[in-house]
Amino acid sequence: VDDVARAALERERVIAEAQTFTRNLVNEPSNTLTPTRLAEKAQEMAAKYGLDCKVLGKQEILDMKMGAFWSVARGSDEPPRLIVIRYAHPEAPEAPVIGLVGKGITFDTGGISIKPAADMHEMKTDMAGGATMLGVMQAIAQLKPRVRVMALVPATENMPGGNAYKPGDVVTSMSGKTIEILNTDAEGRLVLADALTYARQLGATVLIDAARLTGAVMIAL
């Protein structure tokens, strides 16, 4: 019984620690938590807990023809990052391979379809889906389940710059499917689309994505 109780307490500690890590990322302002800095924090966490971490930059994103992701990223002066973290227990079966994909928009103005000024400061939290997946990986690394897991976080800003994508544009995603842009404030599905395609290419057999759809949640509830 003591062993069971100790194991339960350890699980609670690990989960609480991961929640704190995630919460701190979400609360950080976007002028300090840029896509580059989010990737650095992911690398620091991965190194601490023995996870494999790879960060892809602008040129790699372009080379892989991630047109949906790049269409959102190109309006910002901050370069995009695609964070890929992997965990594999030595006794894990070959399948399933769980792919966790989290939206990493470090600030969302809405782009050309700009949001109302009221409460826009809260859009620093539009990377909460990505932060959640990073927190999950931190917990997994300590709990050591017998499974294979990867987490992908497409990180960028959504800005109304001179090179920003526009309503009416048609972009080609990594999967080869074309997408007509009707509203540039629907950027989350674009960055997630290419990250989900890439996760499948990396071998994910089960896909779970997370995003912060605040407006939709408010309407629904």
Q: What is the mean pLDDT of residues 59-74?
A: 98
pLDDT at 4: 87
For the segment 54-75, the average pLDDT, to the nearest whole number, is 98
Res. 217: pLDDT tops 80: no
- Read off the pLDDT of each residue in 188-216 and give the average, rounded to a whole number: 93
pLDDT of residue 1: 61
Give the pLDDT of residue 119: 86
Which residues are known catalytic residues?
A: 115, 189
pTM: 0.94
Task: Give the model confidence (pLDDT) of 96-114 as tens digits.
Answer: 999 999 999 999 999 999 9
Determine how many CB atoms are found less than 10 A away from the CB of residue 162. Answer: 6
Higher pLDDT, 221 or 94: 94
> Taking residues 71-91, what's their average pLDDT?
97
Is a pLDDT exceeding 80 seen at residue 140? Answer: yes
Mean pLDDT, the chain, integer: 96
Alpha-carbon gap, residue 196 to 101, rounded angstroms: 7
Alpha-carbon distances, residue 107 vs 54, 99, 197 (angstroms)? 22, 24, 23
